[in-house]
């Protein structure tokens, strides 16, 4: 939101979440971006979300911290236009249950020497969509959970907005 607040090419038109306590709702409010909270029934059994997106003429759906599988009909409505960011170098440490600290704990437990992020298209399976971009960081011997989380977050902030912007430009051509 911060990155795109003055953009003439990218507008964040809506924030959707299934978590009524998500910090993104406060951020959306601060940036005067409309938001909507939904439950599993609305997401999986109705077309309300698709209708909202279509009514707003949404070009790209950008996921961040969303843990549910995306319904097939939403993927069909937005083919190649739903992206996600994962806090590991896929294909390692991906799949159901591999998110947030679970990923970072697994990376540390495996004594990896590098970590990273993967930005990928979303398909019907967790973390299996085509990769768009990966970035790496070194894991030093004394690094703990907080240190590798920080390194990953730095990469996310550096690369995700840039990748989103590039995809939007291609879509609008």
Distance CA 154, CA 81 (A): 24
**Catalytic pick among 3, 36, 86, 157:** 86
Phi/psi of residue 113, nearest 5 degrees: -100, -10
Phi and psi at residue 63, to the nearest 5°: -95, 145
Show the beta-strand stretches assigned E in 29-91. 35-37, 61-62, 82-86
Q: Is 86 a catalytic residue?
A: yes
113 DSSP 8-state letter: S
Catalytic positions: 86
């Amino acid at each position: 939101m911060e990155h795109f607040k003055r953009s003439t090419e990218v507008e964040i038109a809506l924030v959707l979440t299934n978590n009524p306590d998500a910090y993104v709702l406060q951020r959306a409010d601060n940036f005067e971006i409309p938001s909507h909270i939904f439950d599993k029934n609305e997401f999986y059994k109705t077309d309300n979300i698709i209708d909202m997106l279509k009514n707003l003429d949404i070009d790209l759906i950008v996921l961040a911290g969303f843990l549910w599988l995306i319904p097939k009909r939403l993927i069909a409505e937005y083919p190649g236009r739903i992206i996600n960011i994962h806090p590991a170098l896929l294909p390692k440490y991906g799949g159901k249950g591999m998110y947030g600290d679970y990923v970072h704990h697994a990376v540390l437990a495996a004594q990896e020497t590098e970590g990273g992020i993967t930005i990928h298209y979303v398909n019907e399976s967790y973390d299996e969509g085509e990769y768009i971009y990966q970035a790496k960081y070194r894991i030093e011997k004394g690094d703990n959970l907080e240190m590798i989380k920080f390194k990953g977050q730095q990469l996310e902030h550096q690369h995700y907005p840039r990748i989103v912007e590039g995809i939007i430009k291609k879509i609008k051509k």
